[in-house]
Amino acid sequence: MTAKETILAGTNGEPHAAPSSPGKRAALDFGKAWSYAPAPEAADHVRIEPRYELFIGGKWTAPSSGKYFDTVSPSTEQKLAEVAEANERDVDLAVKAARVGYEKYWSKLSGIERGKYIYRIARVIQEKARELAIVETMDGGKPIKESRDVDLPLVAAHFFYYAGWADKLAYAFPGRSPRPLGVAGQVIPWNFPLLMAAWKLAPALAAGNTCVLKPAETTPLTALLLAKIIEECDLPPGVVNVVTGAGATGAAVVAHPDVDKVAFTGSTDVGKRIQKALSGTRKKLTLELGGKAANIVFADAPLDQAVEGIISGIFFNQGHVCCAGSRLLVEEGAYEPLMQKLRDRMQTLRVGDPLDKNTDVGAINSKMQLDKIRELVLAGEREGATRFSTPCELPERGYWFAPTLFTGVSQSHRIAREEIFGPVLAVMTFRTPEEAIEKANNTMYGLSAGVWTDKGSKSFWVSQRLRAGVVWANTYNKFDPSSPFGGYKESGFGREGGRQGLLPYLEVD
C-alpha cells in the first residue's frame, strides 16, 4: 500500500473512523449498521447444459472443428459449461442459412407477421426472466438485482418496442421507401450480453433482416438461451443464427462477403480495425465503442441526489459500462461537502456474491479485465493521484476490485484519459461552466455525459455544448427503448434504440 493510498478498514474489513486532524470531520463509523444477513437468489431450478452447440439454420449444430471452450463464473472461477467454438466454415454455414432464411421466409412475411414473432419472443423472455437473470449473473458477475431489475425488463421492452415498428416502417420515414438490407452480422460485448443481443436483434428483425449473432466468449450463455427461446417461438429457420467463439469468430462474421450489414459493440481498438477492414466495401456499419464520460456537478446541484447519480454512474455493473461516468467534474465550491458525502456513501456499498440480493458491486468479468483495472489504478498512484478504496473484505476466489476513487487527478493522467472499464472514479474540479465544458470535451471519446444543477437553463446550456451522444440531466444511466443511444468521435457512429435504431438496418430511398 502506497502513501498515496487511503483505505480505511478495521477488523474483518469493517469501517471505522479515520483519525481526524483539527477542523476535519472523521469518516463515519458505520459499525454493524450496514451488515446484512445473506439473501442468496436460489439457482437450483436453473439448468445449465454441460455443453452448448452452435445455433445455425434453426438447428443445434456441432462445430466443424470439434473444438469447445469453457465459460467460467467470474465470482467463483468455476466452470459453468462447454461452448462450441465456431471457425470460418461454421460462420459461412450460418451466413448461408441467414441468406436462405431471408430470401425464402423473412422477406416474404408482412410486417405485421414479423411483428407477431418479435412480440412472441418478448413474451417468452418475460416468462423466463428469472432464469435468464440468474444465468446472466452467474456467467457475467453482475449483481442479481441489476440483472433482474434492469437488464431483463429492458431486454423485453426492446423486443416489445420494435415488434410495434415492424408494420409501420413507412411511417417511420414518411415519403421514403424503406427496404431491409438482407443479412446482418452482429458482434456484441460481455458487459450486457442479453441486453446487447436485444439491442441488435430486435430492430434488425423488425426491419426485415436476418441475423448472425456472435456473443462475447466470456459471456455466451444468455445468448444461447435466447436462441432456445427463438427456437421455441418457431421463427423460420435461418432468421436468427448464433455462433460462439473468440475474436477470430467475430472477425469471420465481419469479413464474410455475403453479410450486408455489420453492427459491433466493443472496444475502440477493435472498432477501428473493423472500420478499416470494411472500408471500400458495400457493407453498412454501425459502431458503439468506448467512453470516458464526464459527470459534471455544479455547486447549486442537490448534492445528496448527485451522490446517488455518481454512485450509479460509475459503480453500476462494476463500472463495466461504456457510458459510465468515470470522470467526476466538481465545481470548487461544492468539492469538500460532495467528497465527504461520496466517501461516506461508498462505504455503504456491499461487494460480494453477485447472486446475493443485497450485493451492490459484483465480480469483475474476467482475470484479463481485472489485470487491466489494476494496471491503470497503479498508473494513477504512480502519477501522483490520491487513491481511496472502500473498506471491504473481498472473497478469496473470483475476480474482485473494491470501489475506488482518485482525487488530485489532472487531465494528463492515464486514469483521466483511458477507459478503465471498472469501478474506478477520477475526480477533478472546475471554477466556471466554460472550464467544465472544456474539460469534459477534452477526450477522444464522446458517448455520454451527466449534468447536475438546479437551474434548468444551465443544464440546457451546458448539454448543448457537450460533444456526447447522450447527456443526462440530474440523473444518470437511464435507458428507454424509444430513446436513441450512440456516440461521437472515437465512441463510434450510428444509433441504437428509438426510430433512429431502425435506420442502420434499412435502405431508405
| pLDDT number for residue 10 | 37
For residue 450, what are the contacts with CB-CB under 8 A and spacing of at least 6? 293, 294, 295, 296, 309, 313, 325, 471, 472, 473, 475, 476
Q: What is the mean pLDDT of residues 288-315?
A: 98
Q: Taking 60 as the threshold, does the pLDDT of residue 24 lie above it?
A: no
Which H or E run contains 265? strand 261-265
Give, in order, the Cα–Cα distances in Å from 46 to each of 77, 82, 121, 134, 399: 19, 16, 20, 8, 23
Predicted confidence band of residue 25 (pLDDT cuts 50, 70, 90): low
Nearest to 6 by CA among 391, 420, 410: 391
Give, in order, the Cα–Cα distances in Å from 156 to each of 38, 151, 196: 29, 9, 12
Looking at per-residue pLDDT, the higher value among 30 and 427 belongs to 427
d(CA 78, CA 70): 10
Residue with cell 489494476: 374
Q: Which of 53, 288, 418, 496 is catalytic?
A: 288
| pLDDT number for residue 11 | 34
d(CA 230, CA 240): 8
Domain with CATH 3.40.309.10 in the chain: 294-473
Residue 19: what residue type? P
Mind giving me the DSSP string for 421-479?
A: -SSEEEEEEESSHHHHHHHHH-SS--SEEEEE-S-HHHHHHHHHHS--SEEEES--S--
pLDDT tens digits, one per residue of 93-140: 999 999 999 999 999 999 999 999 999 999 999 999 999 999 999 999
| pLDDT number for residue 87 | 98
| pLDDT number for residue 33 | 67
Nearest to 232 by CA among 154, 308, 127: 127
d(CA 287, CA 147): 24
| pLDDT number for residue 26 | 54
Catalytic site residue 232? no
C-alpha cell recorded at residue 141: 458477475
| pLDDT number for residue 22 | 44
Cα-only R_g, the chain: 23
For residue 50, what are the contacts with CB-CB under 8 A and spacing of at least 6? 81, 82
d(CA 70, CA 123): 30
Residue with cell 484479463: 368
| pLDDT number for residue 7 | 43
Instruction: Check residue 40 and report its DSSP letter.
Output: B
Burial of 37 (0-12, 13-18, 19+ CB in 10 A): exposed
Domain with CATH 3.40.605.10 in the chain: 51-289+491-508
Q: Taking 50 as the threshold, does the pLDDT of residue 23 lie above it?
A: no
CATH number attached to the domain at 51-289+491-508:
3.40.605.10
Q: What is the mean pLDDT of residues 314-335?
A: 98
Q: What is the mean pLDDT of residues 23-31?
A: 57
Q: Taking 50 as the threshold, does the pLDDT of residue 15 lie above it?
A: no
For residue 480, what are the contacts with CB-CB under 8 A and spacing of at least 6? 157, 497
Q: Taking 60 as the threshold, does the pLDDT of residue 180 lie above it?
A: yes
| Inter-residue contact 390 to 348 (CB < 8 Å) | no
**In 3-state terms, what secondary structure has residue 331?**
strand
| pLDDT number for residue 509 | 85
pLDDT > 70: percent of the chain: 93
Q: Taking 90 as the threshold, does the pLDDT of residue 317 lie above it?
A: yes
104: left (phi over 0), alpha (psi -120 to 50) or beta: alpha
Q: What is the mean pLDDT of residues 289-309?
A: 98
| pLDDT number for residue 251 | 97
Q: Taking 50 as the threshold, does the pLDDT of residue 18 lie above it?
A: no
Q: What is the mean pLDDT of residues 228-251?
A: 98
Predicted confidence band of residue 36 (pLDDT cuts 50, 70, 90): confident
Nearest to 310 by CA among 334, 327, 322: 327
Mind giving me the DSSP string for 175-238?
A: TS-EEE-SEEEEE--SSSHHHHHHHHHHHHHHTT-EEEEE--TTS-HHHHHHHHHHHHTTPPTT
| pLDDT number for residue 29 | 64
Under CATH, what is the fold of the domain 294-473? Aldehyde Dehydrogenase; Chain A, domain 2 (3.40.309)
Nearest to 330 by CA among 320, 321, 340: 340
Q: Taking 90 as the threshold, does the pLDDT of residue 321 lie above it?
A: yes
d(CA 204, CA 399): 35
Residue 150: what residue type? V
pLDDT tens digits, one per residue of 67-99: 999 999 999 999 999 999 999 999 999 999 999
pLDDT tens digits, one per residue of 442-477: 999 999 999 999 999 999 999 999 999 999 999 999
| Inter-residue contact 79 to 195 (CB < 8 Å) | no
| pLDDT number for residue 178 | 95
| pLDDT number for residue 16 | 41
Nearest to 88 by CA among 217, 198, 221, 214: 214
Q: Taking 50 as the threshold, does the pLDDT of residue 409 lie above it?
A: yes
| pLDDT number for residue 35 | 76
Q: What is the mean pLDDT of residues 246-264?
A: 98
pLDDT > 90: percent of the chain: 91
| pLDDT number for residue 28 | 60
d(CA 315, CA 422): 8
For residue 338, what are the contacts with CB-CB under 8 A and spacing of at least 6? 297, 303, 306, 307, 330
| Inter-residue contact 162 to 491 (CB < 8 Å) | no
C-alpha cell recorded at residue 312: 450509479
Residue with cell 414479423: 114
175-186 exposure pattern, b = at least 16 Cβ within 10 A, e = fewer? eeebebbbbbbb
Predicted confidence band of residue 34 (pLDDT cuts 50, 70, 90): low
Instruction: Check residue 165 and report its DSSP letter.
Output: H
Q: Taking 70 as the threshold, does the pLDDT of residue 4 lie above it?
A: no
Give, in order, the Cα–Cα distances in Å from 19 to each of 1, 8, 22, 29, 245: 18, 10, 10, 11, 52
